[in-house]
Chains A and B, each alone.
Chain A
Amino acid sequence: MLIDWFTVFAQLVNFLILMALLKRFLYKPIMQALTDRENKIAGQLEEARKIKASAERERIEYVDKIERFEQQRESLLKQVHDDAAHEREKLIKAARIEADELRSAWQQALKNEQNRLHRELMRNTREEVFAISRKTLADLASVSLEQRICEAFLQRLHTLDDSDKNRLSDAIQSSSDPIRVRSVFALIPELKNAIKQAVSDVFKVNATIEFDVDADQISGIELSANGRKLSWNIAEYLQNFESSIDRTLTAKTVSQSHSGPDAHVV
């Protein structure tokens, strides 16, 4: 007999027990684990989606920020350029003003130097002229320059026109002060007497005359009374010489001022 019915029954029971045990220990935990894992994966996917969405939002936000930053940078850069250009203009202007001031100062200094030189020349010229004249007159006429000046002064005194004579005469007569005669050199007594005599002859007064030596005076002899003056001097000659020197110096200064300070202006 191939079939043993007790064994059939026993195997059926065995199978049912095995089914129950496997259900309890295999299928249920495995299915539960699978479900849990699926849920977990689904949760993680959902979380990943949220993170992705959040990251996308942040990305957009950062892109916006970068754009804003770029615009801000451009604007700041432009402002800096404008400021720099403005500052450059200002500095150039200041440098130009400074250069102008330097040039003015230089020109002023040049002018001062020119004036000083001029005065120096004048004094030297005068001394030279006196020395030359003195020597020339001494050599040629055998009289001292002082005598020739005095003679020239007396000549002038005698040849005064009437109006000048009257004005001077009024001045002498209306003044209680003595008549002052200034000369650049000390007059010898003969010349002083000649002058006194001439004044007395011309103005018909017997006034007191005081003789002074004035080294700075440019003229030879000057007579003054109550604000009126009569003089003979070498001013005309000197004036001509001065004019000539002036022209020369002016021409030199102009050429120097064109090549001098301008070279420093940037």
Chain B
Amino acid sequence: MRLSSDQIIFWQYGFIKLNGTIVTTWAIMLVLVVGAILITRNLTRSLENKRWQSVLEVIVITLNQQIEEVGLKRPEKYLGFLGTLFLFIVTANLFAILPGYEPPTGSLSTTAALAIAVFIAVPFYGIAEQGFGGYLKSYLKPTLIMLPFNIIGELSRTLALAVRLFGNMMSGTMIVAILLVVTPLFFPIIMNALGLLTGIVQAYIFTILATVYIAAATRRHD
């Protein structure tokens, strides 16, 4: 039984390979970027708004508000990273409605890559906000004894991020696949719908957790 789309290999040259996860990711990237280009090509500055522009504006404004609500003072600064994280995961998960589609988020490689991105982004934004020394000092809070636990916590939460998203998405796909075998009519549809909901919720959780980590790293000394 195939657990991940990593196992679908289209092309391989030694260590380098082109698998299903990467191809699907490229397709999602293409959809997102082309969609963004098409919609933002003729943006209006007037009070009368176009329909798709309004949709994008609602998405961007909501993301901004969510980031701000978590506690980041200047959401525009983090919008590029956190917004892309959310849009990529949610798009990847929602395409699960298409038959034969395997979401790249159902691959531990993808979720690990995203978790690593968060793992890198947290100190990046932390250092940018309060300086190298200031950020490092945050590991010594509240006491020096907590240093190893802080480091373990940093690693473990990254691992948790990756596994949580992978587990949920992989299981959703797996359940639908198993149910199709057991009860081919109706029930998989319900599970698929539930899978869509789960996908959106997971995207939200992943993004919010990343936001919380970044917020924690940037305001430890506030």
Interface residues of A (CB under 8 A from B): 2-12, 14-19, 21-23, 25-27, 29-34, 36-37, 40-41, 44
Contact = CB atoms under 8 A, between A and B. Distances in A.
A27 B19 contact: no
Interface stretch (B56-64, B182-190, B202-210): B56-64
B164 to A, nearest CB: 14
A28 to B, nearest CB: 9
Nearest to A22: B84
Contacts of B104: 11
Nearest to A30: B60
A26 B109 contact: no
Give the dominant DSSP class at A's interface: helix
A87 to B, nearest CB: 65
B181 interface: no
Given A11-B21, A11-B25, A22-B32, 5 more contacts: A7-B22, A8-B109, A18-B29, A21-B36, A22-B83
Contacts of B45: 33, 36-37, 40
Contact of B60 (A12, A19, A27, A44): A27
B6 interface: yes
Nearest to B166: A2
Interface of B: 3-4, 6, 15-17, 19, 21-22, 25-26, 29, 32-33, 36-37, 40, 43-47, 53, 56-57, 60-61, 76, 79-81, 83-85, 87-88, 104, 107-110, 112-114, 116-117, 166
A3 B109 contact: yes
B113 A11 contact: yes
A36 B107 CA distance: 41
A9 B53 contact: no
In this complex, which of B3, B44, B112 has the most chain A Cβ atoms within 10 angstroms of its Cβ?
Answer: B112
Nearest to B83: A27
B113 A9 contact: yes
Contacts of A4: 6, 17, 19, 109
A3 B112 contact: yes
Contacts of A7: 6, 17, 19, 21-22, 107, 109-110, 113
Contacts of A44: 47
Contact of B56 (A14, A15, A19, A26): A26
B114 A30 contact: no
B84 A11 contact: no
CB-based closest 6 A-B pairs: A11-B113, A7-B109, A26-B36, A29-B40, A19-B84, A25-B36
